[in-house]
Amino acid sequence: MALQAGAGAALVMGRWLLVSTALLGCLYGYLIVSEGVLPCLEYVNIPGILLFIAIWRLAGGYRRELPTIAEGRGDIFPVAVSILRISLGVSLIFLGFSEKILNPHMAMAFLNEFSSVNFMQYFFESFNHRVFILCAGSAEVLFGVIYVLGLVTRLNTIALAFFLVASNSYFFAVGLEHLAWMEFSGHTSLLATALILVVAGRGAPLGARSSVFRGVCVPGGPDKMNRL
């Protein structure tokens, strides 16, 4: 926890970025060894964020400051964004299956205590908690698949951010501040990633170097590429 807090503080200050990302990567590797691969796939967006930061940092060589958007980076920045996008998609897919579709017990216990979270029951009488959990998990998987495929990334991100903000706002509205802050802290990395994807788009398309996509990925021109 001390190593994680120290690396997090360094990232917030923008100092020793490569060292911090390497340290957090080692901690993620330790988590895989101690807990197994499958549980860690739910948080594969974390190494995706670390790779994004490391690539972005290395794009400026070993200078102290980070490279600006206007500087020539070739295809480095779109590739970094793609890693960020795909890792988030894979994480959402595994979360949807592991926490809701295949193992709904935890979600059921939560809804039994906070029944009003299932807002669909007020519109459809037959929309019980199990159906709500299945729909929520399916939506999470769908968000992830869209991210992995690189389709309508900005619209997908805006929709995802809306649901994240709505869930946080609900807990604040009903006076459950402790759950609201816990939810917010858990979603911080997702909201930060969403902000990057809204601004940068999908990044480099899959198979950008293949003949199918030749002429689509414009080196040094991510804005043109992201219009697709």
User: pLDDT digit string (tens) for 97-118?
Assistant: 888 888 888 888 888 877 777 7
pLDDT at 219: 40
Token representation of residue 168: 């946080």
Helix ranges (DSSP H) in the chain = 2-13, 17-35, 37-41, 45-58, 76-96, 105-113, 129-149, 153-173, 177-200, 222-225
Whether 74 contacts 219, CB under 8 Å: yes
Whether 90 contacts 215, CB under 8 Å: no
| Position 211 pLDDT exceeds 70 | no
Token representation of residue 132: 């709500």
| Position 73 pLDDT exceeds 80 | no
pLDDT at 206: 54
Average pLDDT for 199-228: 49
Claim: this prediction has a pTM higher than 0.85: no
pLDDT at 63: 46
Q: Rounded to 10 degrees, what is the CA torsion of 197, 203, 206, 211?
A: 160
Which range has highest mean pLDDT (64-78, 135-149, 163-177)?
135-149
Between 57-61, 153-157, 186-190, the lowest mean confidence (pLDDT) is in 57-61
